[in-house]
Structure 1
Amino acid sequence: MSSTLTSKPPTAAEQRVLILAPTKRDGEISAALLLQEGITADVSTNIDSYVEELRRGAGALVLTEDALFHRNSGPLHVALKQQPAWSELPVIALVRNSSDGSIDRQLKLLGHVTLLERPVLLRTFVSSVQTALWARMRQYQIRDLLVKEREAREEAERTSRLKDEFIATLSHELRTPLSAILGWSQLLGRDLLDEKETREAVSSIERNARAQTQLIEDLLDMSRIISGKMRLDVQTADPTDFIAAAIETVRPAAAAKEIRLHSVLDPNAGPVAGDPNRLQQVIWNLLSNAIKFTPKGGEVKVILRRTNSHLEIAICDTGQGISAQFLPYVFDRFRQADGSTTRRFGGLGLGLAIVKQLVELHGGRVEAQSDGDGRGSVFVISLPITAVHSQLPAVALKTPASPSPRERKAAIHSLDGLKILAVDDEADALAIIERVLVMAGAQVYTSTSANDALVAARKFQPDLMVSDIGMPDVDGYELMQMVRGQGYKFPAIALTAFARSQDRTRSMLAGFVAHIAKPVEPTELIATVAAVAGRV
Structure 2
Amino acid sequence: MIETNPSAEEFLAMLAHELRNPLAPIRTAIGIIRTCQNDPAVIEWSCQIMERQVQHMTRLLEDLLDVSRITHRQIQLNKENTDLIAVARGSVDALRIVLANKNLNLTTDFAEGPVPIAADVTRIEQIIMNLVLNAAKFTPAGGQIIVGVQPDGDYAVLRVIDNGDGIHPDVLPRIFQLFEQGDRPPARSNGGLGIGLALVQKLVLLHSGTIEARSAGPGQGSEFVVRLPMMPVTPSKTPVVSATT
Q: TM-score, normalised by structure 1?
A: 0.41
Deviations 1:35-66, CA, capped at 9 Å, x for gaps:
xxxxxxxxxxxxxxxxxxxxxxxxxxxxxxxx
Per-residue Cα deviation, 1:375-419 (whole angstroms, up to 9, x for no partner): 0000000001259xxxxxxxxxxxxxxxxxxxxxxxxxxxxxxxx
Q: Structure 1 residue 381 and structure 2 residue 220: aligned?
A: no
**SS of equivalent to 1:355:** helix
In structure 2, distance between residues paired with 1:186 and 1:338: 37
Tell me if the contact between 2:209 and 2:228 (Cα under 8 Å) persists in the aligned partners. Answer: yes
- 2:160 alignment counterpart: 315
Equivalent residue for 1:296, pick from 130, 138, 141: 141
What do the CA deviations read for 1:55-93 (whole angstroms, capped 9, x no partner)? xxxxxxxxxxxxxxxxxxxxxxxxxxxxxxxxxxxxxxx
Separation (CA, whole Å) in 2 of partners of 1:305 and 1:383: 11
Distance 1:178 1:193, change over 3 A: farther
Q: Which residue of 2 aligns with 1:324?
A: 169
Q: Give the match's secondary structure for 2:45.
A: helix
Which amino acid is 1:274 matched to? A
Q: Which of 132, 149, 164 matches 2:9? A: 164
2:151·2:157 contact (CA, 8 Å) conserved in 1? yes
Q: 2:104 is matched with which residue: 248, 252, 259?
A: 259
Structure-2 residue corresponding to 1:282:
127
Pick the aligned partner of 1:217 from 62, 77, 97. Answer: 62
Asked if 1 retains the 8 angstrom alpha-carbon contact of 2:36 and 2:43, the reply is no
Deviations 1:95-130 (A, max 9, x none): xxxxxxxxxxxxxxxxxxxxxxxxxxxxxxxxxxxx
Among 173, 182, 185, which residue is 2:18 paired with? 173
CA RMSD of aligned residues (A): 2.0
8 Å Cα contact 2:167/2:218 also seen in 1: yes
2:77 pairs with 1:232? yes
Shift of residue 352 of structure 1? 0.3
The match for 1:493 is none
CA distance in 1, matches of 2:37, 2:95: 34
Q: Is the 1:235–1:273 Cα contact (8 Å) retained in structure 2?
A: yes
CA distance in 2 between counterparts of 1:283 and 1:352 reads 11
| Residues 17, 186 of structure 2: 8 Å contact kept | no
Shift of residue 167, structure 1, vs aligned partner: 1.3
Letter in 2 for 1:317: D
Listed as ranges, the matches of 1:65-144 within 5 Å are none
Answer yes or no: is the 8 Å Cα contact 1:269–1:311 preserved in 2.
no
In the TM superposition, residue 297 of structure 1 has moved relative to its aligned partner by: 1.3
What are the ranges of 5 or more consecutive residues in structure 1 without an aligned counterpart?
1-156, 388-536
Distance in 2 between residues matched to 1:311 and 1:351, nearest whole Å: 22
Superposition pairs of residues 405-420 of structure 1, within 5 angstroms: none
For the pair 1:272 / 2:120, whether they are aligned, the reply is: no
In structure 2, C-alpha distance between the alignment counterparts of 1:338 and 1:196, rounded to whole Å: 43
When you count helix as a share of all residues, which structure comes out higher?
1
Report if the CA contact (8 A) 1:259-1:291 is conserved: yes
Distance 1:215 1:199 in 2: 25
**Contact 1:163–1:334 (CA<8 Å) still a contact in 2?**
no
1:246 aligns with 2:91: yes
Matched residues, percent identical? 36
Deviation at 1:184, TM superposition (A): 2.2
Deviation at 1:161, TM superposition (A): 2.4
Q: Report what 1:367 is aligned to.
A: 212
Any idea what the Cα deviations from partners look like across 1:458-482, whole Å, max 9, x if unmatched?
xxxxxxxxxxxxxxxxxxxxxxxxx
Report the CA distance between 1:191 and its aligned residue. Answer: 4.4
Q: Given the superposition, is the C-alpha separation of residues 329 and 182 from structure 1 closer, same or farther in structure 2, using an over 3 Å criterion?
A: same
Consecutive unaligned residues in structure 2, runs of 5 or more: 233-245
